[in-house]
Amino acid sequence: MDFSWTEDQLEFRNSVLDFARNELNNDVRGRDSRSEFDAEGWKKCGAFGIQGLPYPTEYGGQGADVLTTVLAMEALGQGSKDNGFLFSLNAHMWAGTTPIARFGNEDQKQRWLPGLCDGSLISGQAITEPDTGSDAYALHTTVKKDGDSFVLNGTKTYATNAPIGDLMVVFASIDRSKGWAGLCAIVVEKGTPGMEVEAHYDKMGLRTSPMSGLSFNDCVVPAENLLGKVGSGMMIFNHSIEWERSCILASAVGTMERKLEECIDYANQREQFGQSIGKFQGVSHKIAEMKTRLETSRLLLYRTAWLRDQGKAKAIDASMVKYYISEALVQTCLDAVQIHGGSGYMTETEVERDVRDALSSKIYSGTSEIQLNVIARHLGL
């Protein structure tokens, strides 16, 4: 297991870091207060090649391995303060594009992947419903075959990118009596009659990432939009959620490094009782713990990415990286507020926003409690 980087990989990481710092920090504080998505930043990412990083070159992707991809996503998190924007990027890649890249037929790949890779199309996933959350497979949304079409009826909630999405991977049941064996995954495109995008949700954090509900009322979708086979929805979801859990918090590792750098600078500059506050153990120990959490998070992330590249990753690996980094991220952001004191609580210093953004990491892609359940189950408990 070798995590040493080639010169090309390090050069690429630095280019992503510079790109993020220079292009993805436009009025973050203002857009956060307005819950405004950075559409121009999205186009810039598409031109740079971010959205297409792990996807085949024949469909417009970059063909990068998983380790290189998470290295780039980590650099984005270090360079950009717009956590909501990065969350939308991750949702687009892991929840929306990956199922099409893995389970789409040739026509579907040719139809959608080039636009998804160059940023001209935005995707997401819709599985959560008002009465389902952690019980992901207990879906009430139904799909029925009708000639050359499928008809969807039901309601989805908490769908990231839904207000701006060009297509959503929607999960529905074709036979509820079969439980998970009756699930289907269908790509529903923007403007499809019978699909209504509900009002944009106001959120505690990740405000620059658009989110809303979706309702389907006799929504007729062409049969060729079905991913995989009828009844293969659970397999498709499990595949995409493992990729998501493995990679979505790579940007968070970059955020943790950014917070560490900010806190070191502040602790060296801020003076109390005749010396910099970094000289006090109450502060220096917090920063030492932040560094330790960063490096352990990074190693777990790289290990999981390496296992994915080798085709050896399991559900327990994805759950461990998702659980550990989300918990580490929240604690690091809380410590950053404590180190900055009163100024850390003020919006103008932009420290408190990272706390608000970080808290959701313990909920999305499966709560920390669900991750622990998965880990325990794989241990035979």
Q: What is the DSSP secondary-structure string of 80-102?
A: ---HHHHHHHHIIIIIIIHHHHH
Is residue 244 annotated as part of the catalytic site, yes or no? Answer: yes
Choose the catalytic residue: 74, 129, 242, 244.
Answer: 244
Nearest to residue 364, comparing CAs of 91, 103, 59? 91
CA distances in angstroms from 16 to 4, 9, 47, 77, 324, listed in the order given: 18, 11, 12, 10, 25
Buried b (16+ CB within 10 A) or exposed e, 162-173: bbbbbbbbbbbb
Structure token digits, residue 103: 């389970």
Contacting residues for 33 by C-beta, under 8 A, at least 6 apart: 207
**How many other CB atoms are found less than 10 A from the CB of residue 99?**
25
The Cα–Cα gap between 322 and 246 comes to 6
The Cα–Cα gap between 229 and 225 comes to 11
Helices 351-359 and 315-340 cross at an angle (nearest 10°) of 150
- Residues belonging to the active site: 244
